Amino acid sequence: MDRTTYLKTIQLHLKTAYLLNEEKTAAMIPVFVNTLRSYVDRLAELAACGDLHQLSRASHAVKGALLNMGLAELAQTAYVIEKQCLAGDGAFDYLARVTELQQQISLFTEER
């Protein structure tokens, strides 16, 4: 998806799931984007240092934030990271999956 499609998906979800008008969705999206940016930065830090317990918790938070905005496909990636952390899977490439998630999220969180 491109930036416009992601933002339209979020807007539609907020309107239908939470019955918010355009004004409220327009106000919420920048807050969500800023929060998500900080969450994803934290995921990258935790993946780099290998703290699976904290990475699991942070992945769970990212998953919830993405689901709250109607981004189930991205939330699935966060869920996989969370699940692998909980399993203690030493062979899983956490940093690669977090980087993949970061790249997808940056498509709509980067300021243009």
**What is the Cα–Cα distance from 26 to 18, expressed in whole angstroms?**
13
pLDDT of residue 111: 61
Enumerate the domain spans of the chain.
Answer: 3-106
The pair of structure tokens assigned to 36 is 């998500």
What's this model's pTM, rounded to 2 decimal places? 0.91
Per-residue DSSP letters for 20-54?
--HHHHHHHHHHHHHHHHHHHHHHHHHHHHT-HHH
Backbone dihedral region of 2: left (phi > 0), alpha (psi from -120 to 50 degrees) or beta?
Answer: beta
pLDDT in tens, 58-78: 999 999 999 999 999 999 999
Q: Which candidate, 43, 55, 111, 64, places its Cα nearest to that of 88?
A: 55
Per-residue confidence band for 110, with pLDDT thresholds at 50, 70 and 90: confident
